[in-house]
Amino acid sequence: MTQHWSHTFYALQDRLTGCHLQEIHPHHAALAARITHHLKHVGTLLELGAGGGQFAVSAARQGHQVTALDLWAGAGEYTRSLAARNSVSVQVVTGDFYTVDFPGTFESVCYWDGFGIGSDDDQRRLLSRVAGWLRPGATAFIDIYTPWYWAYHAGFARQHPGYTQVYGFDAQGCRMTDTYMPHGEEALTQSLRCYSPADLQLLLSGTGLVLTDVWPGGDYDPQAGVYRPEASLGECMTFTVLLQREPSLSAAGRARR
Ligand SMILES: C[S@@+](CC[C@H](N)C(=O)[O-])C[C@H]1O[C@@H](n2cnc3c(N)ncnc32)[C@H](O)[C@@H]1O
């Protein structure tokens, strides 16, 4: 497995902020309810990059049969304990979404807060795999970071006890950067490719997926520390794309992915 910033960043971010291994927030339950309402039924649901499992457990509480995949073993352990505390069953898989295999397909695939890790080719590879994991008529829900939010807030820095956090934007590569500088330790940066819906349409070509809807997400004011859950597409930090498998994607085509 190729070592990448994502193999170390999220555990450090959690050690500094505790942001991943937390209890379920009402936001997770509301998101799970929105997905269920949209699908009009519960069923098999694969969550990629599931982190501490707060959404996975919320979806399981609504009746979905959830598989929660994450690279970081600590996240998987936490998801197991969160599921047990909420009296639901979640299948936890520790693995890499570029290489993991699942025996069947799913009625939905979700990936919240994390798309855009590598190059455009990496993104296409992942999206092609998502197409292969979807059953006909099934939907993938993926959060996409917007360039405009990150370009606007680049340069914002916040001092915390023990570390400094700095937002940045790589205009050439159209990537947000988020750097954590623990005092006396090496800094770590996450860098995610940002896309507009039009750019994402271009990225989807050849992946076997079609864009069916765009849900604008929220807007975080880093100066005030206030999150507004509903913003317009032109203001939001992320939007969710709804993707469906192209009807023409054959079983043979899926097997090659
Ligand atoms: C920003 S966190 C988001 C966690 C969760 N989705 C949420 O919204 O709270 C991104 C997660 O993706 C996971 N991840 C990153 N690269 C991955 C990969 N190649 N395969 C599986 N999980 C990955 C990280 O370990 C991390 O837990």
The C-alpha atoms of residue 103 and residue 91 are separated, in whole angstroms, by 13
* Residue 62 pLDDT greater than 60, yes or no: yes
pLDDT of 253: 54
pLDDT in tens, 204-245: 999 999 999 999 999 999 989 999 999 999 999 999 999 999
pLDDT in tens, 97-107: 999 999 999 99
pLDDT in tens, 78-96: 999 999 999 999 999 999 9
How many A from CA of 70 to the centre of ligand 1? 6
- Name which of 118, 163, 111 is nearest 140 in CA terms: 111
How many A from CA of 49 to the centre of ligand 1? 3
pLDDT in tens, 126-172: 999 999 999 999 999 999 999 999 999 999 999 999 999 999 999 99
Beta-sheet strand order (sheet of 44-48): 90-94, 65-70, 44-48, 106-111, 134-145, 238-245, 209-216
Q: Is 145 in the pocket of ligand 1 (CB under 6 A)?
A: no
pLDDT of 18: 87
In the chain the domains, ranked by start, together with CATH numbers, are 6-145+196-255 (3.40.50.150)
Q: Is 24 in the pocket of ligand 1 (CB under 6 A)?
A: no
Cα atoms found within 13 Å of the Cα of residue 23, Cβ hemisphere only: 4
Q: Is 236 in the pocket of ligand 1 (CB under 6 A)?
A: no
The DSSP secondary structure of 162-225, one letter per residue, reads TEEEEEEEETTTTEEEEEEEETTS--EEEEEE---HHHHHHHHTTTTEEEEEEEE--EEETTTT
